[in-house]
Structure 1
Amino acid sequence: MTEQRSTGLSRRGLLGAFAATALATAPTYSKAAGFLRGAGDIRRISMYSGRTGERLDTIYWIEGEYIGEALREINAFMRDWRNGKVVNMDSRTVDIMAASHRLMDTSEPYMLLSGYRSPETNAMLRQTSSGVARNSLHMRGQAADLRLSNRSVGQMAKAAAACHAGGVGTYSGSNFVHMDCGDVRSWRG
């Protein structure tokens, strides 16, 4: 007869423990296309919001499968902070963000400036700011504006462009990079 013990670990806790040991050996996201082939066994995203004070550090993909609970946390975190509206963020954009972060070899979380934008917020920003697209991919949950203090805008843009998976906008004057899962293209704002 064998004795069984309950560890009390949830699936999420087990994934976190696994990730702590596996993250160091996961391959980089280089040569990524579309949904980033060859991304390794786990994908992690770490961000904070200067607007809301919230922080997010989550493994959202493991062994070929997205983790629904983690994606819901990402959706809530990347909401339109002005009115609280939430949409399902396109996981391809999150993949580009995570791959770019990994390529930059930094542990600093991204500062999220803008994720999802409701049509109302986008219209307001178009009236008060230059460079806001009428049909912005932010309104579809397919774009993010990000900043890092320990990497330059140029370094961030090069990492995102290396993914060959979407649009990369470099905004040196405002110190952020736009990443999206739309057509592969780049521009300076």
Structure 2
Amino acid sequence: MARGGQGLARVAVVVRAGAAPMWWLGVIAAGIGVLVPGLTGRRIGVLAGAALFIIAALVVAYVRRKRYTRLAGAAARAGKHDVLQDRAVTSRNWRRGHRWWLLLAFLAALGSAFAVPAAGGMLLAGCGVGLWLKAAWLGRRERAGDALLWVRVDWLDRRAGRPAGKAVKAYRGTGVAAGDAAPGGARRKTAALV
């Protein structure tokens, strides 16, 4: 980075990066799992899966909120030499660093169908929904504070990729127009050309 600037990744984008893969892998695993009668039977498997889905979504959405709030409250303004990482690059880096964990989670969800049909897939999908909910919560905080939250790329462990992990000491903030992701980490909606 030039003149002491740092590479910065959007906090909400890092949180959101795992949501889609977990959701889709969970849905696929649950769909395949329904085809297997399993030890408990399909009805019990689906009911257990629905409960696991709700619990996982809520736990993932609410875990570590105090840490996020504390880091966001102490966020310093990003410097003019800091380099803002694109949304696609941040998502790709997270997914590359977690591809084996995602594969293992998918295989575990498939394997669990022989005991409790569909439950493992629904649990995985619930984790994805929880990440979307957490990213949406971060987006509301960003809009309320009129500032986007960023974390230094070198503080994101490639394997863990946690934007509120022990290695993260502080966030940086920019105006809401910075970067190519809207508050909450979604793609920015571009106005149609007339």
User: What is the TM-score with the length of structure 2 in the denominator?
Assistant: 0.24
Higher gyration radius (CA)? 2
Of the two structures, which has the highest relative contact order with CA contacts closer than 8 Å and spacing of 6 or more? 2
More helix as a share of residues:
2
